[in-house]
Structure 1
Amino acid sequence: MAQRYAEELLQEIPEIDAVIGTGEIDKIERVVDEILQDKKVVETKSFDFLPNADTDRLLTTPPHTAYLKISEGCNRRCTYCIIPQLRGNLRSRSKEDILEEARHLVAGGVRELNLLAQETTEYGIDRYGKKALPDLLRELVKIEELDWIRSYYMFPKSITDELIAVMKTEEKICKYFDIPIQHISSNVLRRMGRAITGEQTKELLYKIRREIPEAVFRTSLIVGFPGETEEEFEELKSFVEEFQFDYIGVFQYSREEDTVAYAMEAQVPEEIKARRQAELINLQNKIAEAKNRKLLGREVEVLIDGISSESEYMLEGRLKTQALDIDGKVLTSEGTAQVGEIVHVVLEQNFEYDFIGRIVQNEK
Structure 2
Amino acid sequence: MNKLRFGVVSLGCDKNRVDSEIILGKANGNYVIENDPTKADIILINTCGFIESAKQESINTILEMSTYKKKYNCKMLIGTGCLTQRYGEELMKLMPELDAILGVNNYDKLDEIIKEFFNKGKKEVYCNYSDRNINAGKRIISTGTYSAYIRIAEGCNNFCSYCIIPQIRGKYRSREFDEIIKEANELVEQGVKEIILIAQDTTRYGTDLYGKKRLHELMRELSLINGLEWIRIMYCYPEEITDDLINEIASNEKVCKYIDMPIQHISNDILKKMLRRTKKEEITEKIKLIRNTVPEIIIRTSLIVGFPGETDENFKELYDFVKETKIDKLGVFKYSQEEGTKAAEMPMQIDEDIKQKREEDIMVIQQAISTELNHRKIGNVYKVLVEGFNGEYFYGRNYEMAPEIDGKVFFKSDQMLKNGDFADVKIIKNLEYDLIGVVCDESCK
Q: TM-score, normalised by structure 2?
A: 0.79
Letter in 2 for 1:341: D
Who is 1:332 aligned against? 411
Q: Tell me the SS of whatever aligns to 2:427.
A: strand
Q: Tell me the SS of whatever aligns to 2:401.
A: coil
Q: Tell me the SS of whatever aligns to 1:50.
A: coil
Note the alpha carbon deviations across 1:263-320, whole angstroms, 9 max, x for none: 0000011000000000000100000000010100112111111123xxx132101111
Separation in 1 of the partners of 2:115 and 2:104? 19
Letter in 2 for 1:129: G
Who is 2:233 aligned against? 151
Within the candidate set 250, 256, 274, 1:174 is matched to: 256
1:356 to 2:356 alignment? no
Who is 1:293 aligned against? 375
8 A contact 2:102–2:127 mirrored in 1: yes
8 A contact 2:426–2:437 mirrored in 1: yes
Q: How does 1:44-83 map to 2 (within 5 A)?
A: 44-47=127-130, 48-52=132-136, 55-83=137-165
Note the alpha carbon deviations across 1:43-70, whole angstroms, 9 max, x for none: 1123233133xx1211111211111111
Separation in 2 of the partners of 1:14 and 1:287? 48
Task: Report the CA distance between 1:332 and its aligned residue.
Answer: 1.1
Of 275-284 and 32-41, the range deviating more from structure 2? 32-41
Task: Report the CA distance between 1:100 and its aligned residue.
Answer: 0.5
Q: How does 1:120-159 map to 2 (within 5 A)?
A: 120-159=202-241
Q: Which ranges of 4 or more aligned residues in structure 1 deviate by more than 4 Å?
A: none
Who is 2:292 aligned against? 210
Separation in 2 of the partners of 1:4 and 1:329? 35
8 A contact 1:68–1:102 mirrored in 2: yes
Tell me the percent identity: 43
Q: TM-score, normalised by structure 1?
A: 0.96
Who is 1:88 aligned against? 170
8 A contact 1:223–1:251 mirrored in 2: yes
1:28 to 2:107 alignment? no
Separation in 1 of the partners of 2:172 and 2:114? 29
Of 101-110 and 3-12, the range deviating more from structure 2? 3-12
1:315 to 2:394 alignment? yes
Task: Report the CA distance between 1:233 and its aligned residue.
Answer: 0.4
Who is 2:355 aligned against? 273
Task: Report the CA distance between 1:174 and its aligned residue.
Answer: 0.5
Which runs of no fewer than 5 residues in structure 1 stay unpaired? none
Who is 2:20 aligned against? none
Separation in 2 of the partners of 1:107 and 1:11? 45
Note the alpha carbon deviations across 1:329-359, whole angstroms, 9 max, x for none: 0111233322111111111111111111111
Within the candidate set 315, 321, 324, 1:233 is matched to: 315
Task: Report the CA distance between 1:33 and its aligned residue.
Answer: 2.0
Separation in 1 of the partners of 2:411 and 2:247? 34
8 A contact 1:121–1:159 mirrored in 2: yes
- How many residues align structurally? 357
Separation in 2 of the partners of 1:103 and 1:361? 33
Separation in 2 of the partners of 1:176 and 1:299? 17
Separation in 1 of the partners of 2:187 and 2:138? 12
Over the aligned positions, Cα root-mean-square deviation in angstroms equals 1.2
8 A contact 2:113–2:123 mirrored in 1: no
Separation in 2 of the partners of 1:318 and 1:16? 38
Separation in 1 of the partners of 2:410 and 2:308? 42
8 A contact 1:19–1:41 mirrored in 2: yes
Q: How does 1:183-262 map to 2 (within 5 A)?
A: 183-262=265-344
Q: Tell me the SS of whatever aligns to 1:81.
A: coil
Separation in 2 of the partners of 1:261 and 1:202? 25
Separation in 1 of the partners of 2:353 and 2:212? 44
8 A contact 1:334–1:357 mirrored in 2: no
Separation in 1 of the partners of 2:318 and 2:276? 15
8 A contact 1:26–1:49 mirrored in 2: no
Letter in 2 for 1:135: E
Separation in 1 of the partners of 2:125 and 2:263? 36
Q: Tell me the SS of whatever aligns to 1:174.
A: strand
Separation in 1 of the partners of 2:311 and 2:414? 52
Of 284-293 and 30-39, the range deviating more from structure 2? 30-39
Who is 1:38 aligned against? 121
